[in-house]
Structure 1
Amino acid sequence: RRIYGLRRRRKNRRSKRRRRKRRRKRREIHVVMGNEACDLDSTVSALALAYFLAKTSPAPKAAFIPVLNIPRAEFALRTETTFLLRERGLPAASLIFRDEIDLGGLHRAGLLSLTLVDHHVLPSADAALEEAVVEVLDHRPLERDRGAGCRVTAEPVGSCATLVTERIAQGPPGVLDRLTAALLHGTILLDCVNLSPAAGKVTPRDVACVSLLEERFPELPARDAVFQALQAAKFDVSGLTTEQMLRKDLKVLSSDELVLAISAIYVDLEVRPGGN
Structure 2
Amino acid sequence: MEDYLQGCRAALQESRPLHVVLGNEACDLDSMVSALTLAFYLAKTTEAEEIFVPVLNIKRSELPLRGDNVFFLQKLHIPETLLIFRDEIDLHALHQASQLSLVLVDHHVLPKSDAALEEAVAEVLDHRPIEQKHCPPCPVSVELVGSCATLVTERILQGAPEILDRTTAALLHGTIILDCVNMDPKIGKATLKDNQYVEKLEALFPDLPKRDDIFDSLQKAKFDVSGLTTEQMLRKDLKTIYRPGSKVAISAIYMDLEAFLQRPNLSADLHAFCHAHSCDALVAMTIFFNTHNEPVRQLAVFCTQVALRTTICGVLERSQSPPLKLTPVPSSHPNLQAYLQGNTQASRKKLLPVLQEALSAYSDSMQIPSGQPETAGASREQADKELDRAGNSLIAGLSQDEEDPPLPPTPMNSLVDECPLDQGLPRLSAEAVFEKCSQISLSQSSVSKK
Normalised by the length of structure 1, the TM-score is 0.85
Q: 2:91 & 2:145 partners in 1: Cα distance?
A: 29
Is 2:150 the partner of 1:182? no
Q: Quick one: which of 43, 53, 57 aligns to 1:54?
A: 43
Shift of 1:252: 2.1
Classify 1:185/1:261 alpha carbon distance in 2 versus 1 (closer, same or farther; 3 Å).
same
The two structures, once aligned, show a CA RMSD in angstroms of: 1.8
Q: 1:147 to 1:79 in 2, by over 3 A?
A: closer
**Match for 1:130 among 114, 118, 129?**
118
Secondary structure of the 1:226 match is helix
Q: Give the aligned partner of residue 217 of structure 1.
A: 205
Q: Secondary structure at the match of 1:30?
A: strand
Secondary structure of 1:135's counterpart equals: strand
Select the residue among 233, 238, 255 that pairs with 1:245: 233
Paired with 1:81 and 1:271, the residues of 2 have a C-alpha distance of 27
Q: CA deviation at 1:255?
A: 4.7
**Any gaps of 5 or more consecutive residues in structure 2?**
1-13, 256-287, 293-450
Q: What is the letter of the counterpart of residue 89 of structure 1?
A: H
Secondary structure of 1:136's partner? strand
Name the SS of the counterpart of 2:81 in structure 1. Answer: helix
State the identity %. 62
DSSP-derived class of the 2:31 partner: helix
- Aligned partner of 2:181: which letter? V
| Residue equivalent to 1:87 | 75
- CA distance in 1: counterparts of 2:29 and 2:291, whole angstroms: 32
Partner amino acid for 1:42?
S
2-structure distance, mates of 1:36, 1:195: 26
Contact 2:125-2:142 at 8 Å conserved across structures: yes
Q: 1:37 aligned to 22, 26, 32, which one?
A: 26
* Counterpart amino acid of residue 103 in structure 1: L
Secondary structure of the structure 1 residue equivalent to 2:183? coil
2-structure distance, mates of 1:40, 1:125: 23
The change in CA–CA distance for 1:26 and 1:210 in structure 2 (over 3 A counts) is same
Residue 172 of structure 1 deviates from its aligned partner by: 2.2
From the superposition, tell whether residues 169 and 255 of structure 1 become closer, same or farther in structure 2 (CA, over 3 Å): farther
Q: CA deviation at 1:162?
A: 0.5
User: One-letter code of the match for 2:36?
Assistant: L
Whether 1:119 aligns to 2:107 is yes
Give, in whole Å, the separation in 1 of the partners of 2:170 and 2:291: 38
**Local SS of the residue matching 1:166:** helix
- Specify which structure has the bigger relative contact order, considering alpha-carbon pairs within 8 angstroms and separated by 6 or more residues: 1
List runs of 5+ in structure 1 lacking aligned partners: 1-24
Checking the alignment, whether the CA contact within 8 Å between 2:118 and 2:136 is kept in structure 1 is no
Counterpart position of 2:130: 142
Q: 1:107 to 1:264 in 2, by over 3 A?
A: same
SS at match of 1:144: coil
Match for 1:102 among 65, 90, 93?
90
1:57 Cα deviation from its structure 2 partner: 1.0
Structure 1 partner of 2:387: none
Q: Distance in 2 between matches of 1:269 and 1:169?
A: 41
Residue in structure 1 matching 2:221, options 233, 250, 257: 233
